[in-house]
């Protein structure tokens, strides 16, 4: 080991730190050894498999609010996304998934299930397990239960629908609304959106993929190699530095 470190650490000189930083051999050798160690760890102790089910989420904003300031539309969208996220993690959904798959609710909420990209468009519902088939079953069960429960929670707020119809009709008929009227209506609509308990009746949900789900390691092989190479380069360089005075006797 001493001879190996001596051969890596060059040139000789009193500035040991500068010597180590300027020598490429300790860094390269450490990176290679660390990458090999990372590859071995990945092969012997592989990470869990992560399966991904997909659900199409369309809030139908163009139909629900034909005429309205853009900032109010974003407020409406943000509110609906939060409510839909709450449904995905609700007791009704998670407990049903637990019953279907035999997992406990704390495990499912503690990292087995993951929600990705909670916006309008395609939502990805992820599940991790050491068994690829089990990961796929978990993700599929979550996606299907989520869509079923969300459809049950669609509700119509009479106050919000009346405001919606009033604004859309006024703009369609070319009525001229001053800034004060628009601001007041906007405030009323914002309050009605916050007070509405159910999901928007204009919401469209479709399960797009629950069979033959894409599955991959939760942590990629490249991640193991990168971490291993960085750790190896640093450790070997430090070993060369602290083995004493730039050259090991």
Q: Which two tokens stand for residue 139?
A: 């993700």
Sign of torsion, CA 190 192 197 198? Answer: negative
Does 130 lie in the same domain as 179?
A: yes
Please tell me the total count of domains within the chain. 2
Query: In this predicted model, what pLDDT tens digit does every residue of 119-170 receive, in sequence order?
Result: 667 899 999 988 889 999 999 999 999 999 998 888 766 777 777 777 777 6
Does 162 lie in the same domain as 86?
A: yes
Give domain status of residue 13, yes or no.
yes
Give domain status of residue 206, yes or no.
yes
Does 182 lie in the same domain as 138?
A: yes
Does 123 lie in the same domain as 40?
A: no
Does 116 lie in the same domain as 57?
A: yes
Q: Indicate the pTM of the whole model.
A: 0.65
Does 95 lie in the same domain as 30?
A: no
Does 84 lie in the same domain as 36?
A: no
- Separation in Å, CA 168 to CA 90, 158, 161, 233: 34, 15, 10, 65
* Cβ neighbours for 64, distance < 8 A, ≥ 6 positions apart: 76, 164, 200, 202
Residue 12: which domain range?
2-46+221-242
Does 147 lie in the same domain as 120?
A: yes
CA distance 29 to 7: 11
Does 121 lie in the same domain as 6?
A: no
Q: What is the mean pLDDT of the chain?
A: 75
Lowest mean pLDDT among 93-97, 113-117, 156-160, 201-205: 156-160
Taking alpha carbons only, the member of 32, 101, 42 closest to residue 112 is 101
Cβ(49)–Cβ(129) below 8 Å: yes
């Amino acid at each position: 080991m001493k001879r190996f470190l001596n051969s890596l650490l060059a040139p000789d000189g009193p500035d040991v730190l500068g010597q180590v930083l300027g020598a490429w051999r300790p860094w390269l050798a450490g990176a290679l050894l660390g990458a090999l160690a990372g590859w071995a760890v990945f092969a012997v102790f592989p990470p869990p498999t992560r399966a991904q089910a997909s659900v199409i989420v369309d809030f139908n904003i163009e139909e629900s609010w034909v005429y309205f300031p853009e900032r109010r539309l974003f407020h409406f969208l943000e509110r609906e996304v939060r409510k839909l996220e709450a449904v995905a993690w609700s007791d009704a959904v998670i407990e049903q998934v637990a019953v279907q798959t035999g997992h406990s609710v704390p495990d499912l909420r503690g990292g087995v299930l993951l929600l990705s990209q909670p916006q309008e468009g395609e939502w990805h519902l992820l599940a991790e397990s050491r068994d690829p088939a089990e990961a796929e079953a978990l993700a599929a069960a979550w996606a299907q239960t989520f869509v079923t429960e969300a459809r049950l929670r669609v509700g119509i707020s009479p106050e919000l629908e009346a405001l919606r119809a009033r604004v859309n009709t006024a703009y369609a008929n070319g009525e001229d609304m001053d800034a004060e009227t628009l601001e007041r209506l906007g405030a009323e609509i914002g309050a009605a959106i916050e007070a509405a308990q159910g999901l928007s009746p204009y919401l469209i949900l479709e399960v797009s993929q629950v069979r033959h789900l894409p599955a991959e390691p939760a942590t990629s092989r490249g991640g193991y190699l990168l971490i291993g190479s960085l750790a190896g380069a640093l450790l070997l360089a430090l070993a060369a530095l602290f083995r004493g005075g730039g050259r090991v006797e």
